[in-house]
Structure 1
Amino acid sequence: MSTRRWPFDPALTRRDHGFFGPDSPSWKVWTHPTALIGFQRAVTLEHFDPMLTAAVADADGIYTDPRGRLDGTLSYFLVVAVGDSRTAVETSELLMRVHARATGIEPISGKRYGANNPDSQLWIHVTGWHSVLKAYEMFGPGPLSPADEDRYWAECVVAAELQTCSPADVPASRQAVREYFERVRPRLCTSERAQRGMHYLLRTEGGRGRWPLWATSRMLAPATIATLPKWMRVLGDFDQPAALDRAVVPAARAVVRATRSPAAMQAVLGPTLPVTRSVLRWHFANPVAEIPETVTPAEARERLRSA
């Protein structure tokens, strides 16, 4: 990134309101503490795509540097949702360059994978935006209003423009998301490497510098699993009793209420996901932009090229 380095400095101003703006449901959902549960859900579900499983397993990053890999991924989603437009575009272009190097052979099918493959990118995108909303509904304020939900899915389509998937392929409603999951279900599967990754993300191993992530992942896992349909739990071999599902919902809601303030959220994120914390801190410190407008990703790219 040429003009702004992570971690974000709260003293840096917000150039504009990014792609969605302060009144958007995306700002509300992605900056809520329930996003942490939704994120664990999303990165677990990524492993149902065999090409993504191969990319993650070959890179080995979630095992050698789990905090760094998870922190980078969540902070990317957060920057796209609430960052100013230039920072979001710079961050997405950096991510695409990193992903371009992640290629190889998926060992079961023998097919070549690439982390920037549009189908895999679409799976990452949809599971991310869907999972964060699902956690918001179950453990946070509840469902969005019909108007806000329509807008949330429209904003999900806009955010997809920063990845390699075509916005035309992105489901733009709750029903379209259901249809997408049904359409891709036949190609979803697990393997020994996929289950290892899913179980590791739900309950990350401890070790030097990993104890905060070890503790956080285990506290989140029962709530994360409670959001998932039975067939996914069985396929991933991480099912849990129905009694635990029922018990975890009020407990998770209580924890979410206790961590709702910006200060509490940052305290939780600090030792676990420091880059994400710095983005969130910058966001709360800069509610108003130098130019209080929203732009499209295409406009943001054009401004960056002409700068």
Structure 2
Amino acid sequence: MRNRLRSTFTGQLEGQPEWVLNLDRGDDAGFFAPGSATWAVHGQTATIVAGVRALLMQALHPGAMAGVHDHSRYKEDPLGRLAGTIRWIFTVSYADTETAVATSNWVLKLHERVVGTYLDAQNVESPYAANDPELLSWVHLAFTDSFLATAKLWSGPIPGGADAYVREWAKAGELMGVPNPPRSEAELRDQLHAFVEAGVLKSDDRVAEAVKFIRRPPLARALMPGYAVLFEGAVSSIPGEYRRMLGLTPAHIGPLQLPTIGATGLVLKVIGSMLGADKPSELAARRRLTRLGLLEGAA
């Protein structure tokens, strides 16, 4: 089961991916350090729920949804797409600055071919490109909000609080070309709501199709019961205005809402015990910091 979980997240059946092992290379501390809000948030199993939540939220922008629909192989190779996203997140979080910048530029280069047209919320045909500032902003906001929301529900205290995480992760937004990424929780909420107020977001058949796929992805059968709980946890953590657009409601039996928050926490604890206490990306980063004389006692 542990191997199935790790292969789901890394796309590799055995051992650690080379990019994880290479996080101990480089000549500086990177953008984030031990004790940072970023390490605290991204080092917890709640990030699994955050990833599901972020995908749901991102689907509400018709331009982002069009890019996924037209160019992504998410149905044919969803785990490969997941592994690629995880690689970027953990590289920016734990690598030296040169590697973090290079990996972000690599993603932006891949985005250059993601162009086309879509029907916006007013059913007007509009062009899109994955590197458009508006699309980059929405993806960053959905990501930041999802990782923060799930960390507040299912992780330990965040050093410096929610504002520290939003402020730190704004650096990742800058690396990806996001204009004016939020630097506080209040700014994050305001920028998210601005998309609602502007009438940019949209619910349609493509969104329904994406939600259906995210609800039941082609995971190993043994993983599906736990994933179903995590999916419901992600749904319960989404504010009502976005949840209604997605056509989702919190899990319930008749008028009785089920305790998805507690159930999700239990599943995350089980996953954490299966994966073990070791955090390969963090350990590699600590080895680099120790080699550079910036940290003592790393494994």
The two structures have a TM-score, normalised by structure 2, of 0.81
- What residue in structure 1 maps to residue 292 of structure 2? 291
Contact 1:223 1:245 in 2 (8 A): no
- Gap change, CA 1:189 and 1:291, over 3 Å in 2: same
1:195 to 203, 208, 214: 208
- What residue in structure 2 maps to residue 218 of structure 1? 228
- Gap change, CA 1:70 and 1:176, over 3 Å in 2: same
Once the two structures are TM-superposed, the CA of residue 7 in structure 1 deviates from its matched residue by 3.3
Residue correspondence of structure 1 range 85-234 to structure 2 within 5 A: 85-107=97-119, 108-141=123-156, 144=158, 147-166=160-179, 169-185=180-196, 186-205=199-218, 211=221, 217-234=227-244
1:42 aligns with 2:54: yes
What SS does structure 1 have at the residue aligned with 2:286?
A: coil
Report the Cα distance in structure 2 between the residues aligned to 1:213 and 1:56, rounded to whole angstroms: 25
Question: Which segments of 5 or more consecutive residues in structure 1 lack a partner in the other structure?
Answer: 267-279, 294-307
- Gap change, CA 1:41 and 1:292, over 3 Å in 2: farther
Report the Cα distance in structure 1 between the residues aligned to 2:78 and 2:234, rounded to whole angstroms: 18
Question: Which segments of 5 or more consecutive residues in structure 2 lack a partner in the other structure?
Answer: 1-15, 295-299
Report the Cα distance in structure 2 between the residues aligned to 1:74 and 1:245, rounded to whole angstroms: 32
Once the two structures are TM-superposed, the CA of residue 119 in structure 1 deviates from its matched residue by 0.8
- Gap change, CA 1:213 and 1:46, over 3 Å in 2: farther
1:56 aligns with 2:56: no
- What residue in structure 1 maps to residue 246 of structure 2? 236
Report the Cα distance in structure 2 between the residues aligned to 1:188 and 1:11, rounded to whole angstroms: 39
Report the Cα distance in structure 1 between the residues aligned to 2:76 and 2:222, rounded to whole angstroms: 16
Once the two structures are TM-superposed, the CA of residue 173 in structure 1 deviates from its matched residue by 1.2
Report the Cα distance in structure 2 between the residues aligned to 1:120 and 1:52, rounded to whole angstroms: 6
Contact 2:229 2:263 in 1 (8 A): no
Once the two structures are TM-superposed, the CA of residue 98 in structure 1 deviates from its matched residue by 0.5
Contact 2:38 2:93 in 1 (8 A): yes
Larger displacement relative to structure 2 (177-186 or 148-157): 148-157
- Gap change, CA 1:12 and 1:205, over 3 Å in 2: closer
Once the two structures are TM-superposed, the CA of residue 139 in structure 1 deviates from its matched residue by 1.7
1:8 to 3, 6, 19: 19
Report the Cα distance in structure 2 between the residues aligned to 1:27 and 1:118, rounded to whole angstroms: 27
Once the two structures are TM-superposed, the CA of residue 97 in structure 1 deviates from its matched residue by 0.7
Once the two structures are TM-superposed, the CA of residue 252 in structure 1 deviates from its matched residue by 1.7
- What residue in structure 1 maps to residue 6 of structure 2? none
Once the two structures are aligned, what percentage of the paired residues are identical?
23
Contact 1:222 1:245 in 2 (8 A): no
Report 1 or 2 for greater relative contact order, CA contacts < 8 Å, sequence distance ≥ 6: 1
Contact 1:153 1:172 in 2 (8 A): yes
Report the Cα distance in structure 2 between the residues aligned to 1:41 and 1:27, rounded to whole angstroms: 20
Larger displacement relative to structure 2 (155-164 or 112-121): 155-164
- Gap change, CA 1:59 and 1:17, over 3 Å in 2: same
1:76 aligns with 2:76: no
Once the two structures are TM-superposed, the CA of residue 90 in structure 1 deviates from its matched residue by 1.4
Report the Cα distance in structure 2 between the residues aligned to 1:44 and 1:19, rounded to whole angstroms: 28
Pairwise CA RMSD = 2.7
- What residue in structure 2 maps to residue 300 of structure 1? none
- What residue in structure 1 maps to residue 13 of structure 2? none
Report the Cα distance in structure 2 between the residues aligned to 1:144 and 1:63, rounded to whole angstroms: 35
Aligned partner of 1:130: which letter? D
Aligned partner of 1:237: which letter? G
